[in-house]
Amino acid sequence: MSHEESVVKFNETNQINKPDNPHILDKKVQDFLEVSEYLSNVLCASDLISDILKILDSEE
């Protein structure tokens, strides 16, 4: 099987199945947004801790 054939076969077998109930998708999107917001907060906290450590190191 050529590369092009395998790509087409992959695309045919991996189509996104839409859920019967749109609320399922809404819940998944909401969960994703909550996780994304949490990770953003963790990243901000990490940056803040890094800045504090730099300040403490520069004072010594």
- State how far the Cα of 60 lies from the Cα of 55, in Å rounded to an integer: 9
Length of the chain: 60
The answer as to whether 32 is a domain residue is: yes
The answer as to whether 9 is a domain residue is: no
The answer as to whether 12 is a domain residue is: no
- State how far the Cα of 24 lies from the Cα of 50, in Å rounded to an integer: 39
| pTM of the entire predicted model | 0.51
Give me the pLDDT at residue 13, please. 57
Q: Which domain holds residue 53?
A: 18-59
The answer as to whether 49 is a domain residue is: yes
The answer as to whether 10 is a domain residue is: no
The answer as to whether 11 is a domain residue is: no
Please give the tally of structural domains in the chain: 1
**pLDDT tens, per residue, the chain with 60 residues:** 565 565 555 555 555 555 566 677 788 888 999 999 999 999 999 999 999 999 999 987
Number of H helices, E strands in the chain: 2, 0
Give me the pLDDT at residue 45, please. 94
Cα 8 vs. chain centroid, distance in angstroms?
A: 27
